[in-house]
Amino acid sequence: MSESKGEPSAYLRGPLINPDPITGEESVADLIDGAFLSYNAGRMREACQLFAGKILDPKVTVGLSLSGALTPAGLGMSALIPLVGAGFVDWIVSTGANLYHDAHFGIGLEMRRGRHDISDITLREEGVVRIYDIFFDYDVLLSTDAFFRKIICEDEFQRTMGTAEFHHLCGRYVREREQALNLGRKSLLAKCFEERVPIYTSSPGDSSIGMTIAERALAGSELRIDPSIDVNETAAIVLGAKRSGGKSAVVIIGGGSSKNFLLQTEPQIQEVLGIDESGHDYFLQITDARPDTGGLSGATPSEAVSWGKVDPEALPDTVVCYVDASIGLPILASYVLARREPRPPRRLYDRRSELLGELEREYRRGRSQ
C-alpha cells in the first residue's frame, strides 16, 4: 500500500454511499435515485437514468424488443401501453406469443393469477392452461384462434405483407373489439395501431398467430408473410434516424430472437447493404441471462461492438441490468414516466415507404460506385 499522502486515487472520487433512510413516503423514482446504489440495483438506477435522460432526447429514435411471457402477466397494460402512449417507444420487435396473449385482453377474454405448484395433470383435466402462476381457460386459446382466423379471411389480408402491416391491421380489429366491449385500453396491438407504432416479429411462424396463418393457407388464404420486408424496413428506420441528424437507441426486455432482430439492423446496413454507418448509439437491456453460457444471445454491449451493432464510442452509454424482466420493466416504466414529459409520437408506421425509399437510394448509390 502506498504511503503517499497526495491526491486520492481517481477511483475514489465517486459519489459517497450515504443514502437517506427509507421512510415509506418515497416515490418509486426517488427510491431508485436515492437507494438503488450498487450491485444490480445500481445497474437498475443507471438503466432508468439512461432511458429518462439521453435515450428520451427528442432526436433519439427508440426501438424496443420484447421476449418471454410478458403480456400474460399484465405488463402490456401496466407498462408497455403507457410507454407507447407517452411517445417513449417508436418501434417494436416482439415475439408472436406476446402479441397473441396480448390479444386475449383486447377481445374481452380473461387471465387470472394462480399458483405455480398446482398439478398440471389436474389443470389439464379441468381445462385450465398454466403459464407459471397465470391460469386461463382453454377456451381462451380457442376463442383467440377463432378471432384471428376470422379477420385473416378479410380481403385486405389476401396478399403478401410484412409483419408490421399485418400487426397494424390486426390492431385495428382488436381496437374495434375493445371499443365495442367498452374495455378501455387493454391491448398493446390496439394502442400501437392508434399511435402508428410499427410492431415486427422476428419469427412470424413461431406463435399461435403464425399457426393460424398457416392453417388459413391450407384453406386457400393468399396471406403470406415476407420476412425480407421486415429486415429492410427495420434497417430503414434505423438509417433514417441517423441520417436525419438523430440517434438510435435499443431498449431490450429479455433477449432471444427479438433482441437479435432489433440489433441486426446495423449489420444489415453496414455489412450486407454496404452503407457507411457506425452502430446504435444507446443500449439498455434488462435480462436474467448470462453471457458465459451463450444465453445472452451473443451480444453484451461490448461484444455487440465487434458485430457493428453498437457504436464503439457509445459504450459509456450502455447498461445491462441483470434482473427479472417482470420486476425491471415496471420499475423502468414508472421511473421514466415520472421523470420525463411525453414526447410527440413519431408515427413511424406511416413513414415506412419513405424511409425504405431512402434506404434503397443509398444502397443503390453505393453499389454504383
As a whole number, the mean pLDDT across the chain is 94
Distance CA 281, CA 57 (A): 12
Q: What is the pLDDT of residue 297?
A: 59
Share above pLDDT 90 across residues of the chain, in percent, rounded to a whole number: 85
Domain count, the chain: 1
- Quick: pLDDT tens for 260-303: 999 999 999 999 999 999 899 999 999 988 887 777 755 778 87
- State the residue range of the domain holding 278: 31-368
Q: Please enumerate in sequence order all residues whose Cβ is within 8 A of that of 349, keeping only pairs 6 or more positions apart, or say none.
A: 164, 168, 192, 196, 197, 198
| 1 located within any domain | no
| 26 located within any domain | no
| 23 located within any domain | no
* pTM attached to this predicted model: 0.93
- Please state whether beta strands 112-113 and 224-225 pair in parallel, antiparallel, or not at all (unpaired): unpaired
The count of residues in the chain is 369
Give the containing element (helix H, strand E) for 319. Answer: strand 318-322
Cell readout for 172 is 385495428
Beta strands in 211-246 (DSSP E): 224-225
Q: Please enumerate in sequence order all residues whose Cβ is within 8 A of that of 201, keeping only pairs 6 or more positions apart, or say none.
A: 93, 94, 95, 96, 99, 163, 167, 207, 210, 230, 258
Share above pLDDT 70 across residues of the chain, in percent, rounded to a whole number: 98
| 6 located within any domain | no
Which residue of the set 186, 247, 259, 309 is catalytic?
Answer: 309
**What one-letter code names the amino acid at 216?**
R
Q: What is the pLDDT of residue 299?
A: 73
| 270 located within any domain | yes
| 99 located within any domain | yes
Question: What CATH number corresponds to the domain at position 122?
Answer: 3.40.910.10
Q: 163-180 and 188-195 helices cross at what angle (nearest 10)?
A: 110
Q: What string of DSSP letters covers 143-166?
A: HHHHHHHHHHTSGGGSSEE-HHHH
| 226 located within any domain | yes
Q: What is the pLDDT of residue 292?
A: 77
186 is catalytic: no
* Region 113-141 average pLDDT: 96
| 198 located within any domain | yes
